[in-house]
Amino acid sequence: MTDPKKQHWIDRWNRLKPSPKRKMKPESLYVPHYVGGYRFGNQHIYHVQLNLTYKPNWFHRTMMRLCFGLYWHNL
């Protein structure tokens, strides 16, 4: 007989193991369609871009440019 504390952790570990019945199917995965994003940095080659799946309205894009200096770039 094992210690109850050890058995508790063994049970938790067994619940974390992947089940062979639950395999991820490729049709359940999808890649979102990005329309553009805000760029951090002003370099043309090296930059970080936060992409979105929708284009914000003109007021939101303008306020992001005025307040944070982020410009919207279409993909």
Q: Any idea which residue has 């193991």 for tokens?
A: 17
Task: Give residue 75's pLDDT band: very low, low, confident or very high (50, 70, 90).
Answer: confident
Q: How far is CA 41 from CA 11, 28, 49, in A?
A: 49, 35, 9
- Which pLDDT belongs to residue 24? 62
- Which pLDDT belongs to residue 37? 93
| 1 has a pLDDT exceeding 60 | no
**36: phi then psi, degrees, rounded to nearest 5:** 165, -175
- Cα separation, 16 vs 12, whole angstroms: 7
Q: What pLDDT, in 10s, does the model give residues 4-60?
A: 778 888 887 777 766 666 666 666 667 889 999 998 877 677 888 899 999 999 999
Q: What is the DSSP string of 17-65?
A: SPPTT-PPPGGG-------EEEEESS-SSS-EEEEESSPPPHHHHHHHH
